[in-house]
Copies of this chain bind each other. A is one copy, B any other.
Amino acid sequence: MFQTIEIDKIIQQCFSSISFKPYPENLYGPLRYMIAIGGKRIRPRLCLTAYNLFSDKVDNSILKPMMALEVFHCFTLIHDDIMDNSDRRRGQPTVRKKWNDNVAILSGDVMSIEAYRLLSEAPSEILPAALKLFNETAEKVCEGQQLDMDFEKFSVVTLDEYLKMIGLKTAALIAGSGKMGALIAGAPNKVCEAIYDYGYQVGIAFQIMDDYLDTFGDPIIFGKNIGGDIVHNKKSWLLVYALKSASSEQAAELKRILSMPVDSEENRNAKISRMKELYVALGADTAALSEIEKCHKAAFDALRGSGLEQAQLERLRDYMNSLFNRKR
């Protein structure tokens, strides 16, 4: 097994040398741009980590499918940014902002095809299972995005609905990434499933942490403005928890905050600070952190009885810790 730092280096090399056709430039330029503006590469990292639990033979038959997962993820971001009308992504202009909506639609489309091209380099005897996993996962991501948009119109979303939505939108692709690595390494089915379940819990925890940091993170370390979810009345874990836990008096305050205007910086800041206050009064911040802890435990429980050895379990623990010792 490689060291974590070696895995990170391989991944960095893969994405710095990834190439797309030069022409038509308006079609393929946005693909290069999306890969170049970076990201944490958490899906390929889990894929390669899971693969490496069983094999040290790192060649295109794992690296290309691994890249497929990130390329697919980037495609969904390009289209999500159109649907959400977003101008910024990872501190840079979104594709729709830098080019336009039509370019974002079509370059997103071709980016999803590029993901399938990369996936097609999986070993041919594994390809049917790998393609099935990829399709099921991709479908879930779309379903999650649809629920996310549907929820915008709901006045109340339950924690179960929220968990279902992020399970589809975020956790499934992380889970699928881990399973893809194990599958291509030829790991037994039981282990592949255990790693999927582990990845799913890690993914849920990751999204809750993301929601937590959006309100309670350090803006300098987090790398984006704090409070975006509050400004947009987004049904984040914190808001869903608050909707559930508020007394009738607090519920009235919550309703008032949700209807506060966001037309000036002053108004936005006032809304953010009043909502943060309410969250703290409700204990939503500490509840989020303990929910994340619960997911961590569930992630590890999923691996129990799978037959993985101590050294392999350590690697998966390291991966998980690397995601959560983050402030961004």
Identify the A interface with B (CB < 8 A).
24, 26-27, 76, 79, 82-83, 102, 105-106, 108-110, 112-114, 116-117, 120, 124, 127-128, 131-132, 134-135, 138-139, 142-143, 145-147, 149-150
Contacts and interface: CB of A to CB of B under 8 A. Distances in A.
A136 B196 CA distance: 30
A110 B141 CA distance: 9
Contacts of A142: 27, 106, 109-110, 113
Nearest to A113: B138
Given A79-B106, A112-B109, A27 B146 contact: yes
Contact of A131 (B79, B112, B120, B132): B120
Nearest to A149: B102
23 contacts: A26-B146, A26-B150, A27-B146, A79-B105, A79-B106, A83-B105, A102-B149, A106-B142, A106-B145, A108-B109, A109-B109, A110-B143, A112-B113, A113-B138, A113-B139, A113-B142, A116-B135, A116-B138, A117-B139, A120-B128, A120-B132, A120-B135, A131-B131
Main SS of chain A's interface residues? helix
A127 B126 CA distance: 11
Contact of A105 (B105, B117, B143): B105
B127 A139 contact: no
A104 B153 CA distance: 18
Which 6 pairs from chain A and chain B are nearest by CB? A110-B142, A27-B146, A24-B146, A83-B102, A113-B138, A117-B135
A276 to B, nearest CB: 30
Nearest to A102: B83
A214 B132 CA distance: 41
A26 B145 CA distance: 11
